[in-house]
Structure 1
Amino acid sequence: MQLKKISLALATAGVWWLGSGLASAEEVQLAETQVEDIEQQKKVKARLEEIKAEEKAAARAANGYYVERRSYGTQKESEPPRYVKQLNKTWLKDYDALADIDWLDMGFEYRARFEHRDNDFRRNAQNIDEPLLLRTRAYVGLKNVLDPFRFAIEVQDSRRNHGDYDRAYDTRDVNQADFLQAYLELYYKESIFGKDDLGNHRPFWVRAGRHAWEAGDRRLIARNEWRNTTNTFQGVRANIGEKKNDWQLEFHAVQPVQRFTKRLDEVDHSQNFYGVIGNWRRWSQFVTIEPSYFLLKQDGDRVEYDSNGLPAALNTQINREIHTGGLRVYGVIPGTQFDYDASYIKQWGHQDQKNAAGRVTAELDHDAYAYNAEIGYNFKHPWKPRFSAFYGVASGDKNPTDGKNQRFERLFGFARPWSNDDYIQMENIRTPKIRLEFEPKLSWLENVKVDTGFSWYRLDSATDRWNAGANLRDTTGNSGRDLGKEFDLRVRFPLNQYASLNLGYAYFWGGDFVKDTSRRVAGQADRDTDSEFLYTELTLLAF
C-alpha cells in the first residue's frame, strides 16, 4: 500500500510538471489506473512463477529424480514390456469379478511387417526380396498378492513367410514358439536400503530364470525390438532402487540363450556374462551419470553352434575373456532447449586365434573402444520438432597379423539406431548423423510421429570387415573406408487404442568399399551399388 502511495505521488508530480503545474481530475485518475495496472501485472507474473514452481514440484513428486533421455532410439523397453497392462486397467475391468484385480499383469501382441528390399547388402547376391515377418507375444505376471514372491512368463513365436531365402537356419527372423522370460522373483518395496531424500522407497528385487531386458542406451544389452527375434538369457538378475530414486544399481550373472528356428532354444553353456550398471540421478536436473562394467567369458571347448544354430566352425571355438567398462552422461542443459547424450566405452582382455583346422596359432590381446555423442535442440512449436546431430565410433581391427584384436565386441546390443537398413553394427564404424523428429498436428489423424535422418558411414579400419554387409572384408585395405550414405524416413501413428501402423523407407548409396568388395563375390561383378528398403508394419494389442 505504501508503494502505491509513493508511485501515485510520483506519477501525479510528473503530470503536474508536464501540465505546466495544473493537473485535472482525469489525469490523476489515469495515473492511478496505470499504477494499479503495473501492480496487477506484477501479481500475475508472481502467480505464474508460483504455478511453474508448483508444476515442477508435482513433476518431481511423480517422477522422483528421473529425467528421461531425449536422444534418438535409446529409450529402453519397460519392465514389464509396454504391451502389458494391469488387468483392472484393461477392458476386462468391466466384468465385476475382475474389476479389483490389481495383482495380475497380462499382455498379448501381434506384429506383421511386410518388407521390400531391393539389393539387400546383408545378402551375398543382388535380388528383390519381399518377406512377411510375423511375431506373436504373450505375457502373464503375478505381483503384490503374494509379495515378496512374484513370477512372470513371456512367450514369443517368430516366423518369416514369402522370402527368397532359406528359413531353416536364420534366427534373425525365425524362432518358433519359445520362452522369452520365465522367472521367479523376490521383491521388497521397503528394503534395507531405505529412502532417498524425496521420500521414495528404494526397492530391492532378485530374479532367477530366463530374462529378456534392456540396459543403458541399448547398444550393449537389448531385447532387439525391431528384429523379428529377441535376445534372451538365463541366470540371475538383481536390482537396488528404481528410476525414481537418486541412485540405482543393476546386477546380472547370466548365460545367453542359443536360438534355433524350429526346436526349443538352449542355454549356451560356453559363455558367461556378468555385469553391473549404476545410475546416479542426484544431479539429474543437469546430468544423469551411468557407469557400467561387463565381463564376457567364453570356453572354446564348449562352443557348439553359431548364431544361426548351425555347427560352429572350428576357428570360432576359441577361449575369450572380454572386459567392458563404460561411462555415459545425459540430460538437459538448464534454461535452454538443448539436450545431450554421450558415452565412452573401453574394452580389454584376451582371446585365442585359431586356423581353419581349429589349431591355436596365437593368443591375441583385446584392446578396443567405442564412443558416441548426440546433441539435440527442441523447438518451441506445437509440432514439438527436435533437431539432433550425432557422431559415433566403434573401433575395428587395424592389422590382422599384429597379435592384437582392436575390433569392438558389441556384446548383446541392437543395431537399429546405427542404420535403418540394418547395414551397420557397433563394430568397425565411424558415422556422423543428422536427424529431425516432429509430431505434426493433423485434423484427420492424431498422435502422428515422424522422424527422418541422413547418415554418412566409414569403416574405422580399412582392413577389417563390414560385418552386417555379408561379412565383406579387404585385408589389404585397398578398397578404402567409404561405406556409403543413407537417407531414412519413418511415420508412426495409432489406428485406435489397440492397433498402430509404422511406415518406413531407407535408401543407401554404396561407397567405394561396397562397390569393390560386393562385386568380388562370384557372379556379382555387375552388382548395383545402391539399395532401397521399404516396410509397412502393423501392431495389434489385446489389451
Structure 2
Amino acid sequence: MKKKIIYTILLSGTSGFVSAQDIPADTTAEKLSQPSKTSYYIEPGSYGTKRETDPPSYIRELGKTGIKGAEKIDWLDVGLDYRARFEVRHNDLRREVITTDYPLLLRSRAYIGIKNIIDPFRAVIEFEDAHRVNGKFAPDNRDFNRAELIQAYAELHFKNALGKDDLGNSRALFIRFGRQAFEFTDRRLIGLNRWRNTTNNFLGLRTTLGQEKNDWQLDLLALRPINRLIDEFDKTDNNRDFWAVIGHWRKWSDALTIEPYYLGLKQRPAAANNNRERIIHSPGIRFYGWFNSNHINYDFTYTQQFGEDNGLDHNAYAVTAEVGYKFQQIKSKPRVSLFYGHVSGDKDPNDNVNNRFERFFGFARPWSSDDYVIPENIITPKLKLEFEPVKGVKFDGGYSFYWLASSTDRFNNLLAGSNNRDVTGNSGTFLGHGLDARVRFVPTKFIDANIGYTHYTMGEFVQNRQEAALNEHATSSDFFYIELSFNAFDMFKK
C-alpha cells in the first residue's frame, strides 16, 4: 500500500511522459486484469423488461451440450423444453363467476436450427404443444395450442456485410422469411408472452442490420399475426398487416441507450373482426441507462398513437418510467425501484375520437403478476425489490396500485370482457392494489423452479361491476403457483 502511495506522488509530479515499462509490475498487472469492453449492449436492468434471446434461452449448440461424440458439431442448435405450472386462483376477477380454480398448465417445445455450415443460408423449425388440465373453465387460446408450429423460417445471414464497429464486432445483415416469434424494446408492445402457456408469432419478413453487440442496429418488420386455434393448425390473419421500424443506438450505452420505433397496424373489415376497419400509426421512443458506478438505472418510454378506428379518429398514448437503485456493495445486490405507468383510455364514448391505446402484441405480466392488467386505460405506480440472498436463488416482490385512466372506458380483463365498462363513469376509477412475491432457483442442472404468490384487494370499480353482473362481489383474490421447467439437453452438462 505504501509503495503505491509513493508511486502515485512521483507520477503526479512528473513533467514528462510515462511509458508502460516505467510503471511498477504490480500496477501494470492490476490494470491489465480489468476486462476490456467487447460489446456495446448493456442490459437495462428494469423490472420484467429483459428480452428473450435469439435463439431462445432454452436452445443449446449441440457441440456444447456434453453429449459424447457431438463435440465438433457447431452448426446445429437444438432445444427440448417442458414446463408445468400448477396454479391456485381464488376469486379470479377475469372470470364470470366467483370461485376457486386449480389448473395445471403444461407446455412442450422442440427446436432445430441450422447455421454456419451452409452460410449464408440458415433455417429454424420450432414446435409447441400447450394445454391445460384440471381446470373449471372451457379451453381458450391462452392455455391451449395443440401440436403447433410456432417458428419455421429460412434466413440469409451475412456475418460481415456492413463491416465492423469500433470494438471489432462484425455488423451482420440477415433477412428472415416465414413463421417467427421474437421480442423488441421493453416487450410491452412486441413480446412472446413467455408467461402465458401459448406464444405470439407472425408470418412475414424480418430484416436486421447490425447485431446486439454493435453500437447501432436497425430492425425492419413486415408481418401478419398468426391466429392461435386450439385444436387446428394455426392460420395467418390475412385481414391484419403489422409493420415496424425499430432502431437501437448504443454508442453511449455506458450511460444511455436509445431505441426509437415506429409501429403500424392496418386491419381490413371482415366477419372475424366485426367488420371493423382500422389503421393505427404508433411512433415512440425508449431510453435507458446506468450511472453513479452502476448504482442507479433508469428506463423511460413514450408512445403516441394516431390514425382511424372504424370511422373514429384514433388518438392515444402510453408513458412508462422506472428508476432503480442497486446496492452494489452488498453481497445480495438488492435493487429497489419505483415504476409509473400511464396508458390512455377512451375519454368520451359519445364523441368521434377513440383514446383507447392499442397494445399490439405485448407482454402483460410486467403490469401485474396475476395477469389482471394489460397496457390499456390504466394508471399504476409500483414499488419493487429484487435481490439474490444466496447465489442461484433470486427473489423479487413488490406492491402495486391501479386506477382507470378514464372512468368511462373499460377494464379489459374483468369478467371475461363483459360488463367491464360503465359509460356513465359512476362505478369509480380505483381497480385495486396488490402484493406480489416470487422466488426462482435451479434445484438441478436441468430444472428451473419458479414459485410465486399474489394477493389482490379489489377496488370500487371491480366490486361495482361484479355486483352489476353477478349480484355479488369479492373483496380480494389470491394467486399461488409452482412452476418447473425441464431442459432435456442440460442433462448432459458436466
TM-score normalised by structure 1 residue count: 0.85
Amino acid at match of 1:541: N
Q: Does 1:159 align with 2:131?
A: yes
1:173 has 2:112 as partner: no
Compared with structure 1, are the counterparts of its residues 337 and 174 closer, same or farther at alpha carbon in structure 2 (3 Å cutoff)? Answer: same
Tell me the SS of whatever aligns to 1:228.
coil
Q: 1:475 to 1:494 in 2, by over 3 A?
A: same
Identity of aligned residues (%): 47
1:8 corresponds to: none
Distance 2:440 2:214 in 1: 32
Indicate the SS of the match to 1:516: helix
Does the residue aligned with 1:517 lie in a helix, a strand or coil? helix
Contact 1:286 1:334 in 2 (8 A): no
1:228 is aligned to 2:197? yes
Which of 166, 173, 190 is the matching residue for 2:160?
Answer: 190
CA-CA distance at 1:459 after TM superposition: 0.4
Return the match for 1:495 from 443, 458, 477: 443
Deviations 1:60-116 (A, max 9, x none): 12xx21111100000000011000000010021x22xx2200000000000000000
CA distance in 2, matches of 1:65, 1:132: 41
State the one-letter code of the partner of 1:520: A
1:313-332 matches, within 5 Å, as 316-332=274-290
Partner of 1:77: 52
- Residue 366 of structure 1 is matched in structure 2 by 314
Query: 3-state SS of the aligned residue for 1:178?
Result: strand
1:529 deviates by 2.0
**Mapped partners of 2:7, 2:438: distance in 1:** 48
Q: CA deviation at 1:201?
A: 1.1
Given the superposition, is the C-alpha separation of residues 512 and 392 from structure 1 closer, same or farther in structure 2, using an over 3 Å criterion? same
Deviations 1:292-350 (A, max 9, x none): 0011000013x52xxxxxxx5xxx32110000111000010143510000010000000
8 A Cα contact 2:402 2:433, kept in partner: yes
- Asked if 1:111 corresponds to 2:83, the answer is yes
Does structure 2 retain, via aligned residues, the 8 Å contact 1:367–1:405? Answer: yes
Counterpart of 2:300? 342
Say which structure is richer in helix: 1
Match of 1:450? 395
Task: Name which of 438, 450, 471 aligns with 2:387.
Answer: 438
How many residues matched?
A: 474
Query: 1:515 and 1:52 mapped to 2: Cα distance?
Result: 63
Tell me the SS of whatever aligns to 2:414.
coil
TM-score of the superposition, structure 2-length normalised? 0.93
Tell me how far 1:197 sits from its aligned partner.
1.7
Q: Give how far 1:37 is off.
A: 7.9
Residue 484 (structure 1) aligned with residue 420 (structure 2): no
Q: 2:116 aligns with which of 128, 133, 144?
A: 144
* 1:111 partner SS: strand
Query: Which structure 1 segments of 5+ residues have no match?
Result: 1-33, 305-311, 353-362
Q: Which amino acid aligns with 1:186?
A: L
Which amino acid in structure 2 is aligned with residue 230 of structure 1?
T
Q: Which amino acid aligns with 1:163?
A: G
Matching residue within 336, 359, 362 for 1:387: 336
C-alpha separation in 2, matches of 1:177 and 1:220: 26
Name 1:238's counterpart in structure 2: 207
Q: One-letter code of the match for 1:416?
A: R
Letter in 1 for 2:321: A
Letter of the aligned partner of 2:485 in structure 1? T
1:537 aligns to 2:483 (yes or no): yes
SS of alignment partner, residue 335 of structure 1: coil
The equivalent residue for 1:308 is none
Secondary structure at the counterpart of residue 465 of structure 2: helix
Question: Relative to 1, partners in 2 of residues 1:55 and 1:342: Cα closer, same or farther, differing over 3 Å?
Answer: farther
CA-CA distance at 1:390 after TM superposition: 0.4
Residue of 123, 129, 132 corresponding to 2:101: 129
CA distance in 2, matches of 1:75, 1:412: 16
Change (3 A) 1:39 1:238: same
1:88 aligns to 2:63 (yes or no): yes
Confirm or deny that 1:201 pairs with 2:147. no
- Summarize the Cα distance change of 1:319–1:67 in structure 2 as closer, same or farther, 3 Å threshold: same
Residues 202, 399 of structure 1: CA spacing in aligned structure 2 closer, same or farther, 3 A cutoff? same
In 2, Cα distance between equivalents of 1:56 and 1:202: 26
Identify which of 467, 472, 478 aligns with 2:412. Answer: 467
Give, in angstroms, the shift of residue 268 of structure 1: 0.4
Answer with 212-221 or 462-471: which moved more: 462-471
| Alpha-carbon distance, 1:396 to partner | 0.2
Deviation, 1:196, is 1.3
Partner Cα separation in structure 1 for residue 481 and residue 370 of structure 2: 11
Displacement of 1:384 in angstroms is 1.0
Matched position secondary structure for 1:417: helix
Q: Which amino acid aligns with 1:225?
A: R
Supply the distance in 2 between the matched residues of 1:50 and 1:227 (Cα, whole angstroms).
52
Larger Rg: 1
Deviations 1:175-211 (A, max 9, x none): 10111100000000010x2211222110000000000
Report the CA distance between 1:53 and its aligned residue.
Answer: 5.5
